Amino acid sequence: MHLSEEQLVFLYYGEGEGRGHLEQCPECRVRFEALERTLASVSVEAPERGPFYEAQLWARIQPSLAPQGRWWRFWVAPPRWVTAAAMACLLVGAFAAGWLLRPDNRRPAPIAYSSDTANRVLAMAVGQHLDRSQLMLTELANSGEDSAADTSIAEDLLESNRLYRQTAEREGQAAVAALLDDLERVLLEIAHEPQGVSSERLDDLRFEMRVIRSKLKARKATVTTTTKVGEEKL
Amino acid sequence: MQSKGQMQDSDAAIVARTLGGDQDAFRLLVERYGRAVFRLAFRITGNESDAEDVVQEAFLRAYKQLHRYESRSAFGTWLYRIASNYALDLLRSRKRHDDQELVPEERAATDPAPDRLVYAGQLQERLDAVMAELSPQERTAFVLRHLEGQSIEEIGAVLGLGVSATKNSIFRAVQKLRRGLEPVVSAVRCI
């Protein structure tokens, strides 16, 4: 009886039995040599990296490294009471500023902000929000058994996302609102998926996030260019 | 005088320093394994930009999961496993996205004219086409066995398969490669 194809393949890789048979059977030896020739021709050479590859790679990786440990979660998704306290401080501050800047206080009129300034502030806030979302997705991808904790982070991010989306809609920034709408669906899926999201789905979501981020970058570049052109015209 | 081995920190020592909060220590691991992970990632994905994505993600995942690394096994082996896993996920995800665009010109090359086979470049071209036709699981299994020399057990751990299913994936990949390459190899041999 001759050796099977599978036996020949694993003999080639130095596994399995049949070496003795191979030495005695010319027919199997011919088949084995043909297999050897074919497999010996299979090599996949990767393109060479440049001399500074390691430094470039580190420059790409380093900004995404959080300190070891989990205290940074506090920054990514602060507890609700912290968010509420911050909102309360903002409201009190806004009220005090409004009272102090009343026209009848005979103070100089507050400087009117241009819509470009508002757009930039919103773009910055949305950019930070996207960074936090990206960080959460990366953490979720790596968390395994801790996915329930990430689900609560997603809920918090979802709330912020709704606020940013509504603000963008109010400011007439349809493109940003559309991007945030995309993200909202992503976050909603994570927040409402009790068993956690599959790794395949997560990769799709992260891919979607990358697309959203690159759209925002492209949009930011357009806004900057438009502003510069506008300034030149002035 | 110190030997090179003494001058260089061991992987385990660098991991310990990183876990102790010295983030820059991790850079040494990136410098030590960056190129090798890129080569592995390229062989699995067959695509330069995907390979770069895999390298970056593998190091990020390794950093996040560093507390789970057990220094009993080599850090490199552990890192390659993370990279292979992510590369496999990426291939699967790409496959789902690209299923509609399955390269007809690659299929058209199944029976190339014998006169074209004299060119060595044809072999590479054919190899690329056949590799692209392997399923993500077959491709990963084959690359890890044939090009990276990993054991069946190590490959099984990456694929989440038992020994028999892992062997089956490798065997299927080899069969497809043989079908695709044997005519070319024989023709080149006759020249």
Question: How far B169 CA sits from the closest chain A CA (Å)?
Answer: 11
Nearest to B41 by CA among B179, B150, B143, B178: B143
B-chain residues within 8 Å CB-CB of A44?
42-43, 46, 127, 131, 143, 147
Alpha helices, H only, A171-198: 174-191
Nearest to B124 by CA among B189, B185, B38: B185
* Crossing angle of helices B11-19 and B25-45, rounded to 10°: 110
Q: Would you place residue B69 in the very low, low, confident or very high pLDDT band (cuts 50, 70, 90)?
A: confident
Predicted ipTM of the assembly: 0.80
Q: Would you place residue A181 in the very low, low, confident or very high pLDDT band (cuts 50, 70, 90)?
A: confident
Q: What is the pLDDT of residue B102?
A: 42
Inform me whether the C-beta atom of residue B60 falls under 8 Å from chain A C-beta atoms: yes
B-chain residues within 8 Å CB-CB of A60?
56
Asked if the model's pLDDT at residue A139 lies above 90, the reply is no
Asked if the model's pLDDT at residue B103 lies above 50, the reply is no
Tell me the pLDDT of chain A averaged across its residues. Answer: 73
Arithmetic mean of pLDDT, A72-95: 61
Angstrom distance (rounded) from CA B61 to CA B69: 11
B-chain residues within 8 Å CB-CB of A15?
152
Here the tokens at position A82 are 């912290």
Inform me whether the C-beta atom of residue A149 falls under 8 Å from chain B C-beta atoms: no
Arithmetic mean of pLDDT, B100-129: 57
Q: Which string of DSSP letters, residue by residue, matches B97-122?
A: HHGGG--HHHHHTTS--GGGGGSHHH
Asked if the model's pLDDT at residue B191 lies above 90, the reply is no
Q: Would you place residue A165 in the very low, low, confident or very high pLDDT band (cuts 50, 70, 90)?
A: confident
Asked if the model's pLDDT at residue A106 lies above 90, the reply is no
Inform me whether the C-beta atom of residue A102 falls under 8 Å from chain B C-beta atoms: no
More confident position, B173 or A109:
B173
Answer whether A158's CB lies under 8 Å from A188's CB. yes
Q: Which string of DSSP letters, residue by residue, matches A22-69?
A: HHH-HHHHHHHHHHHHHHHT---PPPPPPTTHHHHHHHHHGGG-PPSS
Q: Which string of DSSP letters, residue by residue, matches B41-99?
A: HHHHH--HHHHHHHHHHHHHHHHHTGGG--TTS-HHHHHHHHHHHHHHHHHHHHHHHHG
Question: How far A157 CA sits from the closest chain B CA (Å)?
Answer: 21
Asked if the model's pLDDT at residue B106 lies above 50, the reply is no
Binding-face residues of B in 26-45 toward A, CB within 8 A: 26-27, 30-31, 34-35, 38-39, 42-43
Inform me whether the C-beta atom of residue B23 falls under 8 Å from chain A C-beta atoms: yes
Answer whether B26's CB lies under 8 Å from B14's CB. yes
Q: Would you place residue A202 in the very low, low, confident or very high pLDDT band (cuts 50, 70, 90)?
A: low
For B24-55, write each residue's pLDDT tens digit: 999 999 999 999 999 999 999 998 989 999 99
CB contact under 8 A, A41 and B127: yes
Q: What is the pLDDT of residue A102?
A: 61
Specify the residue for token string 């819509």: A115
For A210-230, write each residue's pLDDT tens digit: 666 666 666 656 555 554 444
CB contact under 8 A, A57 and B30: yes
Answer whether A133's CB lies under 8 Å from A157's CB. yes
DSSP H or E segment with residue B175: helix B163-190
Q: Which string of DSSP letters, residue by residue, matches A137-168?
A: HHHHHHHGGGHHHHHHHHHHHHHHHHHHHHHH
Angstrom distance (rounded) from CA A52 to CA B21: 26
Indicate the residue of B63, B93, B174 with minimum beta-carbon distance to A65: B63
Inform me whether the C-beta atom of residue B99 falls under 8 Å from chain A C-beta atoms: no
Arithmetic mean of pLDDT, A84-97: 68
Overall pTM surpassing 0.95 (yes/no):
no
| Total Cβ atoms within 10 A of residue A20 | 8
Indicate the range of A104-118, A184-198, B34-48 predicted with least confidence: A104-118
Q: Would you place residue A134 in the very low, low, confident or very high pLDDT band (cuts 50, 70, 90)?
A: confident
